[in-house]
């Protein structure tokens, strides 16, 4: 359930430069230094977050997820005509992507990032345009990586996928078969996921190359930033939450009633929740901060008393009934405690400024041609940077 701004859920229905080949060894070292909050989010997260170490994953999410770089490597049609074909969504140079190919890519994003096409026609048009721009930008970045000689081999991508599967589902052929089956259920495939993994790893190296030397931070700059951001740098209150997701309000009301009459929360979650990422764990979301949750759900969760049931709260995945467990109070920030993480954040902000400027130029120079129903409002603008976003503007972040 995409209650977290950062995590993935399946529903029924910053560091030294590292090459792709070094990602695996870096992963082990970086993973040991992750905070408990990030670990809590990640262990329920999706394929992207599991695959890479924390700092490299951050860059990948900022590239691929935040900067609308979610495309894969295949699925193009060559046309000599300068006029877009009737079934085209857009064209970058001599490569034309059809509406069907765009739809297939959205299914891959759905599997990997939790992207969900809206059901109402009023917002579907914007989603369609955002998706087309996401794919177009991914092709521009793919070409930029190729121009710099950045190539990710098949074995590197396959090894990353194998680690992903073992972390998600366990070892052995049965786990692999289950993974492939799950991909089929959301309309994508293992080759599409491998293409996306290659894209992520290549973009991480491209980001390093474009932003090299852009992130130097001085001591006084650090102190000034701490003074300005002290409140935001404090460790926020966290709450251990359980969550049950059902399809209708009537079902949610019945869940609330059953819990009020003594039903065990974990049992109800295992029997009725459609959130496959938490159902088998009795609906456990772990310890989360207010800012990690979708707005309406977060308001309800942090207004409820410890031990209380709250909801139902509706989101795009269904109706949610939650329960508050242990509450950990907030902790004020001190300069010595947050210095390293603040320096990393400032370096990333500077790097992103360089990246956005470079990316805007690349998009403009590419001269992407969109079919009318797929043309974004500002097709040449670099995508907005918003931590925790997804490949498509307006979507929840990776769950």
**Which of 65 and 195 is assigned the larger pLDDT?**
195
Residue 384: pLDDT band by 50, 70, 90 thresholds? low
Domain ranges in the chain with CATH number 1.10.4030.10: 20-216+339-374
Give the CATH superfamily of 20-216+339-374.
Answer: Porin chaperone SurA, peptide-binding domain (1.10.4030.10)
CA 246, 250, 254 angle in degrees (round to 5)? 80
pLDDT above 70 covers a percentage of the chain that reads 75
pLDDT value at residue 395: 40
pLDDT above 90 covers a percentage of the chain that reads 54
- pLDDT average, residue stretch 257-274: 97
Cα→Cα distances 298→87, 252, 275, 302, 345, Å: 42, 18, 18, 6, 25
Domain ranges in the chain with CATH number 3.10.50.40: 236-328
Least confident of 33-42, 86-95, 167-176, 361-370: 33-42
Question: How do residues 181-231 score in pLDDT, each as one tens digit?
Answer: 888 887 788 998 898 889 889 988 999 999 998 878 999 999 999 999 999
| Most confident listed range (61-65, 151-155, 260-264) | 260-264
Indicate whether 391 pLDDT > 80.
Answer: no
Cis preceding linkage at 267, omega within 30: no
Q: 361 by DSSP, 3-state: which?
A: helix
Residue 33: pLDDT band by 50, 70, 90 thresholds? very low
pTM of the entire structure? 0.58
Indicate whether 133 pLDDT > 90.
Answer: yes
Output the furthest CA–CA distance in the chain (Å, rounded).
69
Residue 82: pLDDT band by 50, 70, 90 thresholds? low
Residue 18: pLDDT band by 50, 70, 90 thresholds? very low
263 alpha-carbon distance from chain centroid: 34
Question: How do residues 346-373 score in pLDDT, each as one tens digit?
Answer: 999 999 999 999 999 999 999 999 999 9
Q: How many CB atoms lie within 10 A of CB 251?
A: 18
- pLDDT average, residue stretch 173-185: 88
Indicate whether 277 pLDDT > 60.
Answer: yes
Indicate whether 180 pLDDT > 80.
Answer: yes
Q: What is the average pLDDT score of the chain?
A: 79
CA 359, 38, 287 angle in degrees (round to 5)? 135
Q: Are the C-beta atoms of 110 and 187 separated by less than 8 Å? A: yes
pLDDT value at residue 270: 97
Question: Hey, which CATH number is domain 236-328, 3.40.50.970, 3.40.50.720, 3.10.50.40, 3.40.50.620?
Answer: 3.10.50.40
Question: How do residues 102-116 score in pLDDT, each as one tens digit?
Answer: 999 898 888 777 778
Angle between helices 335-366 and 121-147 (to 10 degrees): 90
By CB atoms closer than 10 A (0-12, 13-18, 19+), residue 154 is exposed
Give the whole-angstrom CA distance, residue 214 versus residue 54.
Answer: 20
**Which of 311 and 164 is assigned the larger pLDDT?**
311
How do strand 95-98 and strand 88-92 relate by DSSP bridges? antiparallel
pLDDT value at residue 116: 80
Indicate whether 4 pLDDT > 60.
Answer: no
- pLDDT average, residue stretch 163-191: 87
């Amino acid at each position: 359930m995409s209650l977290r701004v950062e995590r993935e859920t399946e529903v029924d229905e910053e560091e030294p430069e590292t090459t792709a080949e070094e990602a695996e060894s870096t992963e082990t070292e970086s993973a040991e230094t992750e905070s408990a909050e990030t670990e809590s989010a990640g262990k329920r997260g999706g394929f992207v977050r599991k695959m890479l170490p924390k700092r490299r994953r951050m860059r990948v999410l900022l590239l691929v997820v935040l900067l609308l770089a979610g495309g894969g490597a295949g699925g193009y049609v060559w046309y000599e005509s300068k006029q877009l074909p009737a079934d085209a969504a857009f064209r970058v140079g001599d490569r034309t992507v059809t509406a069907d190919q765009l739809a297939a890519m959205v299914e891959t994003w759905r599997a990997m990032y939790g992207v969900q096409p809206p059901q109402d026609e009023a917002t579907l048009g914007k989603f369609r345009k955002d998706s087309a721009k996401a794919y177009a930008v991914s092709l521009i970045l793919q070409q930029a990586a190729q121009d710099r000689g950045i190539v990710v081999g098949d074995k590197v991508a396959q090894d990353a996928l194998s680690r992903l599967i073992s972390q998600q589902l366990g070892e052995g052929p049965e786990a692999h078969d289950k993974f492939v089956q799950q991909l089929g259920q959301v309309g994508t495939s293992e080759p599409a996921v491998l293409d996306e993994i290659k894209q992520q790893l290549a973009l991480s190296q491209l980001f390093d190359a474009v932003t090299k030397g852009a992130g130097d931070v001085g001591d006084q700059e650090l102190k000034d930033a701490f003074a300005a951001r002290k409140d935001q740098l404090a460790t926020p209150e966290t709450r251990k939450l359980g969550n049950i997701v059902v399809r209708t309000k009537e079902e949610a009301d019945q869940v609330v009633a059953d819990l009020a009459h003594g039903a065990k929360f974990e049992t109800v979650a295992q029997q009725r929740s459609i959130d496959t990422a938490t159902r088998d764990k009795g609906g456990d979301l772990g310890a989360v901060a207010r800012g990690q949750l979708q707005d309406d759900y977060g308001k309800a969760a942090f207004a409820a008393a410890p031990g209380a049931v709250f909801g139902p709260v509706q989101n795009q995945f269904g109706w949610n009934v939650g329960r508050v467990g242990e509450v950990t109070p907030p902790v004020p920030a001190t300069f010595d405690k947050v210095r390293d993480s603040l320096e990393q954040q400032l370096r990333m902000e500077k790097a992103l400024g360089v990246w956005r400027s470079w990316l805007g130029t690349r998009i403009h120079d590419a001269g992407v041609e969109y079919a009318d129903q797929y043309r974004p409002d500002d097709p040449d603008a670099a995508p907005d940077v918003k931590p925790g976003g997804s490949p498509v503007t307006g979507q929840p972040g990776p769950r």
